[in-house]
């Protein structure tokens, strides 16, 4: 029991990749978009020991024994893309623990299938890291995990376990509950309304708070037995664990911010389809958004009404946002979502940041990935042309210096 608790308390255990290769590689000739610094034409990028060791112009030296990859002049190198919201490899049946509506201690990492085809698809489309979330059928679904898209086991892939706690507002958590539509049968479960969903969140945090009180000042019966779920919620209240609240409609976005404020924790808005209606509140709350997915221009989950200019609006108002695909099988390439964002008016720089640096920051992994700079992991994509152009594709993908895709030729 003790050891279980210790493991649960060990939030955000950051594991180094086990697969760093020794052989040096040098990529020459392509345009490099490092993100966060100026693009380099006819650039050079050196990889040693799975890390980027140098990046610069054509004169940048490389170790004599480095494997040289000579790129065409119209090829482009970007950081590996990071998808901040997915359920990659998780089937619908495996994503929601149906025992309760509030399951903060469920860990999605236990359900991730390392060899799943979805990771290969993601890699082929230039995605090198993803957050995998528990499903949206529970009000508090559990703990997500951030993994690389390559590795033999989930431990090898793991960047960050317990990356965030997923909370889902709106009708989705209740949608499966009234199976035969009436409240008078044994299958009926709470919540069944938006109000009920929000009450479940509140109740969970109130319960966690009284649990903390009992622990702090034990009564005659002594301290309460360890409750793993409440321990997770206490981390949220202590500010050591971030909440990712799925809120699509404007009322849910407002509620997500209000509840976070009420209990004094920080939340990232996930989904955020109707942010265009409540942009002022989002700006005021200094919230970060995992926006998803841009290709759903009109009709959206949970009846939310999307607008094509929402990301432009967030960019103008200084709301940091990452783009997610929300896909489970890798069916929607992240680069396509960035392409749609650009079609709708987002600048290339913003689009690129929203699938590299910003998601790295949101997930707290930007010390190792998200940009191309010396010392960071050699996670990068070589594109056949302008990234996010419909005629471009990922020719080569590197994760920790390993060439995991390509070279592809047409």
Nearer to other proteins, 250 or 379 (CB): 250
Q: Which residue of 245, 267, 361, 392 would you call a contact of other proteins, by CB under 8 A?
A: 392
Task: Kindly state the smallest distance separating residue 20's Cβ from other proteins, in Å.
Answer: 28
Contact 166, 144 (CB under 8 A): yes
Task: Kindly state the smallest distance separating residue 364's Cβ from other proteins, in Å.
Answer: 31
Task: Kindly state the smallest distance separating residue 299's Cβ from other proteins, in Å.
Answer: 7
Q: Answer yes or no whether residue 119 interacts with other proteins by CB under 8 A.
A: no
* Phi, psi values for residue 54, rounded to 5°: -155, 150
Q: Answer yes or no whether residue 265 interacts with other proteins by CB under 8 A.
A: no
Helices (H) and strands (E) in the chain, counts: 13, 17
Q: Answer yes or no whether residue 296 interacts with other proteins by CB under 8 A.
A: yes
Instruction: Choose the binding region for other proteins from 75-83, 101-109, 160-168, 243-251 (rule: CB under 8 A).
Output: 243-251
Contact 147, 154 (CB under 8 A): yes
Task: Kindly state the smallest distance separating residue 88's Cβ from other proteins, in Å.
Answer: 16
Residue partners of 363: CB distance under 8 A and separation at least 6: 82, 84, 131, 146, 160, 163, 164
Task: Kindly state the smallest distance separating residue 185's Cβ from other proteins, in Å.
Answer: 29
Contact 138, 103 (CB under 8 A): yes
Nearer to other proteins, 309 or 317 (CB): 309
DSSP string for 44-79 = EEEEETTEEEEEESTT----TTPEEEEPPTT-EEEE
Q: Answer yes or no whether residue 182 interacts with other proteins by CB under 8 A.
A: no
Nearer to other proteins, 15 or 347 (CB): 347
- Bin 277: left if φ > 0, else alpha if -120 < ψ < 50, else beta: alpha
Pairing state between β 76-79 and 31-32 = parallel
Task: Kindly state the smallest distance separating residue 253's Cβ from other proteins, in Å.
Answer: 10
For other proteins, the binding residues in 25-84 under the rule CB under 8 A are none
Kindly determine how many residues on this chain lie close enough to bind other proteins according to the rule CB under 8 A.
33
Nearest CA among 150, 152, 138, 151 for reference residue 108: 138
Q: Answer yes or no whether residue 165 interacts with other proteins by CB under 8 A.
A: no
Q: Which residue of 181, 225, 298, 375 would you call a contact of other proteins, by CB under 8 A?
A: 298
Q: Which residue of 33, 211, 388, 398 would you call a contact of other proteins, by CB under 8 A?
A: 388
Buried b / exposed e over 332-343, threshold 16 CB at 10 Å, is bbbbbbbbbbbe
Q: Which residue of 36, 251, 281, 283 would you call a contact of other proteins, by CB under 8 A?
A: 251
Q: Answer yes or no whether residue 113 interacts with other proteins by CB under 8 A.
A: no
SS3 of 83-96: the string is EEEECCCCCHHHHC
The separation between CA 349 and the C-alpha centre of its own chain, rounded to angstroms, equals 20
Task: Kindly state the smallest distance separating residue 313's Cβ from other proteins, in Å.
Answer: 8
The two structure tokens encoding residue 250: 């404007």
Instruction: Choose the binding region for other proteins from 2-10, 91-99, 156-164, 388-396 (rule: CB under 8 A).
Output: 388-396
Q: How far apart are CA 377 and CA 82, in angstroms?
A: 13
Q: Answer yes or no whether residue 342 interacts with other proteins by CB under 8 A.
A: yes
Return the SS3 of 332: coil
Q: Answer yes or no whether residue 1 interacts with other proteins by CB under 8 A.
A: no
Q: Answer yes or no whether residue 299 interacts with other proteins by CB under 8 A.
A: yes
Instruction: Using CB under 8 A, list all residues that contact other proteins.
Output: 117, 249-251, 274, 276-277, 295-299, 303-309, 313, 336, 339-340, 342-344, 388-393, 410
């Amino acid at each position: 029991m003790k050891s279980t608790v210790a493991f649960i308390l060990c939030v955000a255990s950051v594991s180094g990749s086990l697969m760093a290769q020794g052989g040096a590689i040098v990529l020459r000739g392509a345009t490099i978009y490092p993100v966060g610094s100026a693009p380099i034409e006819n650039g050079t990028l050196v990889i040693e020991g799975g890390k980027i060791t140098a990046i610069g112009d054509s004169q940048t030296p490389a170790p004599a024994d480095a494997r040289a990859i000579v790129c065409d002049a119209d090829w482009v190198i970007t950081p590996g893309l990071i998808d901040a919201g997915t359920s990659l490899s998780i089937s619908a049946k495996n994503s929601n623990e149906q025992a309760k509506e509030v399951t903060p201690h469920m860990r999605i990492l236990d359900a991730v299938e390392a060899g799943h085809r979805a990771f290969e698809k993601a890699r082929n489309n230039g995605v090198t890291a993803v957050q995998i979330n528990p499903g949206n059928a529970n009000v508090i679904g559990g703990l997500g995990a951030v993994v690389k898209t390559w590795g033999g086991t989930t431990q090898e892939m793991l960047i960050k376990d317990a990356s965030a706690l997923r909370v889902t507002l709106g009708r989705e958590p209740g949608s499966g509950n009234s199976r035969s539509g009436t409240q008078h049968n044994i299958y009926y479960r709470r919540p069944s309304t938006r109000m009920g969903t929000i009450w479940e969140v509140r109740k969970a945090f109130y319960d966690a708070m009284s649990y903390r009180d009992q622990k702090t000042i034990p009564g005659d019966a002594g301290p309460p037995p360890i409750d793993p779920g409440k321990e997770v919620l206490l981390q949220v209240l202590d500010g050591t664990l971030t909440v990712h609240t799925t809120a699509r409609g404007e009322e849910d976005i407002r509620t997500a911010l209000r509840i976070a404020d009420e209990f004094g924790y920080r939340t990232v808005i996930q989904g955020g389809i109707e942010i265009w209606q409540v942009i002022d509140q989002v700006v005021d709350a200094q919230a970060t958004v995992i926006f998803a997915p841009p290709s759903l221009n009109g009709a959206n989950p949970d009846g939310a009404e999307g607008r094509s200019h929402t990301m432009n609006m967030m960019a103008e108002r200084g709301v940091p946002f990452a783009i997610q695909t929300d896909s489970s099988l890798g069916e929607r390439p992240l680069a396509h979502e960035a392409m749609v964002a650009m079609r709708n008016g987002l600048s290339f720089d913003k689009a690129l940041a929203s699938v590299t640096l910003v998601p790295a920051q949101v997930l707290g992994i930007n010390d190792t990935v998200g940009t191309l700079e010396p010392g960071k992991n050699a996670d990068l994509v070589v594109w056949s042309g302008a990234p996010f152009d419909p005629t471009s594709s990922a020719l080569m993908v590197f994760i920790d210096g390993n060439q995991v895709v390509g070279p592809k030729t047409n």
